[in-house]
């Protein structure tokens, strides 16, 4: 267990105050107990529910009248030299008053000898004065080998109570293991239990159960969103250069590609006009490459507590790494990191988070393909546009005539209409300057109008909708033209 080795290094290096923020409390306690036994140290555990007790014994009696934070910390202050003391969810109780003072005294006392304080909290909300002393320790997610062991142990455990029928081959079992990556140990075990508990068997159908449960768990964190991707690249009009680039790299993640001398694609940045299809492309790539798509909304990373925002970003990126191969879609990246390009008023938070992201983009392991989309190029820090962060930077502009014809066909077919029944040349001519999203809304508006008139939608309905709905390229002409001019020579045209 790498966590045991890393925590042991911290303790032997005389880090007397350590903070662990995790929902996996039992696993954290297991790691600390292993370190305490390995180093032959006493272990004491405090929680508001039980007070102070021996941390090496699972059912040890608590010391009387130590449940209150102040009395519990005073008791821990008297432990022998070399002891390791654990507190559970102490942060909630020490915003101010005697408990905070007692904790500061405890940390100062422990700094004079070899006693260790480890605070396990479910949220990163320690007071700033305590956080300045505490060394953060992040628990790792299980790797593929450990996930496989968890799955096997869980099946064996249930098999003892009632026989489990195994109806899955090695390939299917490996698919389950792959889809458990990115989950914590507790989550992975529970997903396996959910797959086998009712029918008492492990079979090929359980792969979909695992994927479904993982999607639910990932989305419950609020940091990454699992996106359904039934869209094909052919369902997007135009963007021929971008489509070719993606098709050429479809199989670049395989072992054969590695033997050929290729490295796995790292990602692309799509800039351009709002509504031109950048988000659609992210979804279509996932389908074309048969890889799961995770959406990271940068705005969801920001939290009120000091340090929580940075931890949310690290946690999201680490989870994406553990789920590889995967596509990570960072949507409207400029909204979260725009202030990193200017003098921000957030105490440098945006700059720190942006720096973390830049480093990760440069160094992240293969298997995570990043698609970042942005509408406001002026708000992007220039460091993000440097080659090396992404394999390529594409500019998605307004669709040309051929692309607009494809877009009309796509949306007419989507609404159960035959494109051959419409004068597409007229529609293409009238829709000059419209984005793909605007063309879709025009088709919808024409359908509504025809339905209200109890008629079939005609070319004239669509032309009327075009005349009555000016595009963004008209209402914001100067900005759009400036954007298109900026892209020349700086980006690869998507079409």
List pLDDT tens digits, range 40-73: 999 999 999 999 999 998 788 999 999 999 999 9
Q: How far apart are CA 88 and CA 118, in angstroms?
A: 9
Are the C-beta atoms of 56 and 155 separated by less than 8 Å?
Answer: no
Q: How far apart are CA 254 and CA 157, in angstroms?
A: 35
pLDDT at 303: 62
Radius of gyration of the chain (CA): 28
Q: Residue 311: which pLDDT band, with cuts at 50, 70 and 90?
A: confident
Give the highest mean pLDDT range of 273-282, 368-377, 433-442.
433-442
Burial label for 72, CB within 10 Å (0-12, 13-18, 19+), is buried
Handedness of CA 410, 413, 418, 422 (dihedral sign): negative
List pLDDT tens digits, range 191-227: 999 999 888 999 888 888 888 888 788 777 667 888 8
Are the C-beta atoms of 172 and 135 separated by less than 8 Å?
Answer: no
Q: Which residue has the tokens 């553990």?
A: 322
Q: How many Cβ atoms sit within 10 Å of the Cβ of residue 239?
A: 28
pLDDT at 337: 63
Average of per-residue pLDDT across 378-388 = 74
Give the highest mean pLDDT range of 240-249, 271-280, 408-417.
408-417
Average of per-residue pLDDT across 18-23 = 93
List pLDDT tens digits, range 441-489: 999 999 999 999 999 999 999 999 999 988 888 888 888 888 888 888 7
Domains of the chain from N-terminus onward: 2-136 (3.40.50.300), 144-220 (1.10.8), 233-396 (3.40.50.300), 401-475 (1.10.8.60)
Secondary structure of residue 87 in the 3-state scheme:
strand
């Amino acid at each position: 267990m790498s966590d045991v080795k890393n925590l042991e290094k911290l303790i032997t290096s005389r880090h007397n105050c350590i903070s662990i923020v995790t929902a996996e409390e039992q696993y954290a306690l297991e790691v600390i107990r292993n370190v305490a036994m390995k180093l032959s140290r006493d272990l004491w555990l405090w929680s508001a529910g039980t007070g102070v007790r021996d941390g090496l014994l699972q059912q040890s009696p608590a010391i009387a009248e130590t449940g209150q934070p102040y009395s519990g910390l005073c008791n821990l202050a008297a432990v022998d030299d070399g002891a390791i003391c654990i507190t559970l969810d102490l942060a909630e109780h020490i915003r101010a008053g005697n408990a905070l003072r007692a904790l500061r005294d405890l940390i100062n006392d422990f700094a004079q000898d070899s006693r260790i304080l480890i605070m396990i909290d479910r949220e990163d909300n320690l007071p700033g004065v305590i956080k300045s002393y505490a060394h953060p320790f992040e628990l790792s997610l299980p790797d593929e080998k450990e996930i496989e062991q968890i799955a096997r142990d869980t099946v064996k455990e249930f098999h003892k109570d009632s026989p489990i029928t195994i109806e899955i081959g090695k390939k299917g079992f490996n698919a389950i293991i792959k889809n458990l990556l990115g989950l914590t140990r507790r989550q992975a075990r529970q997903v396996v239990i959910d797959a086998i508990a009712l029918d008492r068997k492990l079979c090929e159908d359980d792969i979909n159960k695992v994927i479904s449960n993982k999607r639910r768990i990932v989305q419950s964190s609020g940091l990454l969103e699992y996106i359904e991707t039934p869209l094909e690249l052919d369902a997007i009009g135009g963007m021929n250069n971008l489509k070719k680039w993606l098709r050429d790299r479809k199989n670049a993640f395989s072992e054969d590609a590695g033997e050929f001398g290729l490295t796995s694609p790292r990602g692309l940045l799509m800039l351009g006009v709002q509504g031109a299809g950048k988000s659609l492309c992210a979804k279509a790539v996932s389908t074309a490459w048969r890889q799961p798509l995770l959406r990271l909304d940068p705005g969801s990373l920001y939290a009120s507590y000091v340090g929580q925002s940075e931890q949310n970003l690290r946690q999201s990126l680490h989870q994406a790494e553990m789920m590889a191969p995967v596509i990570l879609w960072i949507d409207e990246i400029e909204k979260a990191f725009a202030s990193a390009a200017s003098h921000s008023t957030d105490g440098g938070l945006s700059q720190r988070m942006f720096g973390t992201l830049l480093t990760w983009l440069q160094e992240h392991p293969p298997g995570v393909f990043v698609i970042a989309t942005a509408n406001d190029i002026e708000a992007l820090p220039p460091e993000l546009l440097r080659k090396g962060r992404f394999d390529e930077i594409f500019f998605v502009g307004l669709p040309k005539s051929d692309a607009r014809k494809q877009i009309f066909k796509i949306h007419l077919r989507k609404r159960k209409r035959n494109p051959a029944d419409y004068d597409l040349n007229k529609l293409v001519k009238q829709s000059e300057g419209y984005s793909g999203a605007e063309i879709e809304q025009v088709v919808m508006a024409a359908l509504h109008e025809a339905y209200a008139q109890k008629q079939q939608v005609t070319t004239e309905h669509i032309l009327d909708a075009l005349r009555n709905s000016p595009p963004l390229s008209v209402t914001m002409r100067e900005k759009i033209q400036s954007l298109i001019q900026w892209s020349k020579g700086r980006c690869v045209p998507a079409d």
